[in-house]
């Protein structure tokens, strides 16, 4: 497994790193919580505009689809602008 920065308490594990590095090592999730890029240049590495979000999230969405199960719930954090661009 890739080097981890993680917090674990009973059945909950929080990873503080690039999730793309560990998707394949996780057990099938019941819940995926994503707070990725916003598309408003809000922090280093953020997309400059919402239209750039689709390309950035594509690999994550493919991994979520591959490693989750039909009942897995996705909680997706973003800004109003980012959400509009992601759903377009």
- Per residue in 27-83, pLDDT tens? 888 888 877 777 777 777 778 887 888 888 888 889 888 988 899 988 877 665 544
For residues 29 and 31, give the distance between their C-alpha atoms in angstroms, rounded to a whole number.
5
Give the range of the structural domain holding residue 69, as residue numbers without chain letter. Answer: 6-87
In-domain check, residue 31: yes
In-domain check, residue 78: yes
Write out the E strands in 1-88. Answer: 6-9, 12-15, 31-34, 73-76
C-alpha torsion sign, points 62, 68, 69, 72: negative
The pLDDT value given to residue 55: 83
pTM of the model: 0.60
In-domain check, residue 1: no
For residues 11 and 87, give the distance between their C-alpha atoms in angstroms, rounded to a whole number.
32
For residue 6, what are its two tokens?
């993680």
Q: Total structural domains in the chain? A: 1
Reply yes or no on whether the pLDDT at 3 is more than 60.
no
In-domain check, residue 27: yes
């Amino acid at each position: 497994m890739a080097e981890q920065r993680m917090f674990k308490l009973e059945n909950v594990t929080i990873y503080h790193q690039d999730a793309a590095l560990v998707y394949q090592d996780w057990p099938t999730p019941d819940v995926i919580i994503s707070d990725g890029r916003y598309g408003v240049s809000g922090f280093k590495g953020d997309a400059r505009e919402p239209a750039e979000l689709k390309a950035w999230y594509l690999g994550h969405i493919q991994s979520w689809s591959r490693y989750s199960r039909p009942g897995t719930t996705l909680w997706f954090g973003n800004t109003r602008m980012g959400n509009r661009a992601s759903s377009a």
